[in-house]
Amino acid sequence: MKLALKLIAVFALSVLVFAQTPAKDHMVVVISLDGLPAYALDDPRLPIPTLRRLMKEGVYARMTSINPTVTWPVHTSMVTGVLAGEHGLLANGTILKTGSWPPVKVDPMLDKEKMVHAPTVYDAVFRAGLTTAQIDWVAINNAPTITYPFSEWASPAGPVEREMIAKGVITAADVESFSKANIAFRDQIWTTAAVYLIHEHKPNLLLLHLLTLDSVSHGSGPAGLPATAATAFLDGCVARVAAAIRDAGMSDRTTLIVVSDHGFKGYTKQVRPAVALAAAGLGDKVYVLPEGGSAYVYLDQSQAAELVPKTIQTLEGVEGIERIIAPGGFSALGLAQPDQDPQMYQLLLVAKDGYAFSGATGGPVTAAPPQRAGAHGYLATDAQMDVIFIAAGRGVRAGVDPGRISVIDIAPTIANLLGVKFPSAKGKPIRVQ
């Protein structure tokens, strides 16, 4: 009996050790389809044959986003496993104080080490002796723990770009003035880079971010043919990556994860808080940074006792503003306090259904947008901000229901699949088997 117990203990220990050994011959490929709302998949005629196949072969769940439901903050929660109050991303870059007017600006170029204030799962994977790749991922500029970077700002001088050009996979012209190219072209090039890296380098973790649907939904709204066609195009990009995994002989050693970062809402009216504030004589004291469905209100903290009540009084009467949230409500949203993070604002505005914020300083306070349009940035508790999680392949059992999950659960799931420890995450590994 004693011996049997000992044997069980040894067996259990060896299983434990095995589970914590970095999986050098495994791959986890994460594709983020920016701005794909979970509700879009309720339409059985959404043309997404690849996503439907992966959902059938693997696991699908509706996922809660984080506050703010803005691209860089959500993607940073995906890789850190913590909320924005902890990782420090509130916009598509770092919010810097300017010392002049406007009092803040968003800087996307800051290095990742300065921008992201929490450990990332790719740091952990890299330090475990595995390889990492990022293609158009965000808040990742010059990250020292990315083995193969193919940047949002790709150029003929980039390391992976040079390799691909030398092998004739892309031309130098393809990545010349790259950020001026249309977004569908860039998504195609980024997908080509993913296919190339899977084939040539088989990185243990590959992060790929595709943007066409987000661009189309901002400019034409999330419903209708433009968004549907963009979604079909992205499904084709996912199909290319899935085929690359198969062609590289990695099917039984790879987990493919497809996610999105935030949903979208169509709106027919813009709210311009700056116009109302100027009319109240606060135009040069209170600054509003619009983030679609929400807006950040900055004012001089030393004058807060006078300016905050005046600002609230002015904005309370403005059509289209659903809520004005003071710092007392920030921690419930996963956000830091103004005295904890210099990026933080004194008030958070949330738009009503059918409205989004604009930074315009002229014209009427509330106006029709220039065209049919869509926005995100509403609170993460808004069901229309819900996103998708699909996992298929190694370590995934078809049909498992993971229950309600959050984007902060993605990083610990990746760590688990690769046998890497990642104790800083507040999320939990998603049940996929």
Residues 6+ apart with CB under 8 A from 180: none
Residue nearest to Zn ion (CB): 71
Give least dist CB 260 to Zn ion, A: 8
The DSSP string of 147-168 is: SEEE-TT--TTSHHHHHHHHTT
In terms of CB distance, is 31 or 418 closer to Zn ion? Answer: 31
Strands 205-210 and 27-33 come out as parallel
390 vs 22: CA distance, rounded Å: 23
Give least dist CB 419 to Zn ion, A: 30
In terms of CB distance, is 209 or 285 closer to Zn ion? Answer: 209
Q: Does 152 bind Zn ion (CB under 5 A)?
A: no
Give least dist CB 10 to Zn ion, A: 48
Give least dist CB 66 to Zn ion, A: 12
In sequence order, what E strands does 211-282 have?
A: 254-259, 265-267, 269-271
In terms of CB distance, is 35 or 412 closer to Zn ion? Answer: 35
Q: Which residue has the tokens 């204030």?
A: 117
Give least dist CB 198 to Zn ion, A: 24
Q: Which stretch binds Zn ion (CB under 5 A): 63-71, 152-160, 276-284, 338-346?
A: 63-71
Give least dist CB 55 to Zn ion, A: 21
In terms of CB distance, is 301 or 381 closer to Zn ion? Answer: 381
- Are residues 141 and 112 in contact, defined by beta-carbon separation less than 8 angstroms? yes
The DSSP string of 362-407 is: SS-SEE--SSSEEE--S-TTSGGG-EEEEEEETT--TT----SEEG
Give least dist CB 70 to Zn ion, A: 7
Q: Does 71 bind Zn ion (CB under 5 A)?
A: yes
In terms of CB distance, is 287 or 378 closer to Zn ion? Answer: 378
Q: Does 34 bind Zn ion (CB under 5 A)?
A: yes
Q: Which 325-354 residues touch Zn ion, going by CB under 5 A?
A: none
In terms of CB distance, is 69 or 192 closer to Zn ion? Answer: 69
Q: Which stretch binds Zn ion (CB under 5 A): 32-40, 290-298, 396-404, 408-416?
A: 32-40
The DSSP string of 169-202 is: SS-GGGGTTGGGS-HHHHHHHHHHHHHHHHHHT-
Give least dist CB 418 to Zn ion, A: 25
How many Cβ atoms are within 10 Å of 367's Cβ, its own excluded? 14
329 conformational bin, left if phi > 0, alpha if psi -120 to 50, beta if neither: alpha
Distances 94 to 90, 112, 143, 287, 426 between C-alpha atoms, Å: 7, 10, 15, 17, 22
Structure tokens at 45: 């005629």
Q: Does 187 bind Zn ion (CB under 5 A)?
A: no
Q: Does 136 bind Zn ion (CB under 5 A)?
A: no
The 191-230 site mask, x for binding Zn ion (CB under 5 A), equals: -----------------------x----------------
Give least dist CB 377 to Zn ion, A: 10
In terms of CB distance, is 213 or 325 closer to Zn ion? Answer: 213
In terms of CB distance, is 83 or 276 closer to Zn ion? Answer: 83
369 vs 219: CA distance, rounded Å: 10
Q: Which stretch binds Zn ion (CB under 5 A): 7-15, 65-73, 113-121, 409-417?
A: 65-73
Residues 6+ apart with CB under 8 A from 20: 419, 421
In terms of CB distance, is 259 or 415 closer to Zn ion? Answer: 259
Give least dist CB 374 to Zn ion, A: 11
In terms of CB distance, is 187 or 214 closer to Zn ion? Answer: 214
With CB under 5 A as the rule, give the number of residues binding Zn ion. 5
Q: Which 247-266 residues touch Zn ion, going by CB under 5 A?
A: 261
As a 3-state breakdown, the chain gives helix, strand, coil percent values, each rounded to 5, of 40, 20, 40
Task: Quickly list H helices, 68-120.
Answer: 71-80, 84-87, 112-115
Please report, as ranges, the residues that interact with Zn ion according to CB under 5 A. 34-35, 71, 214, 261
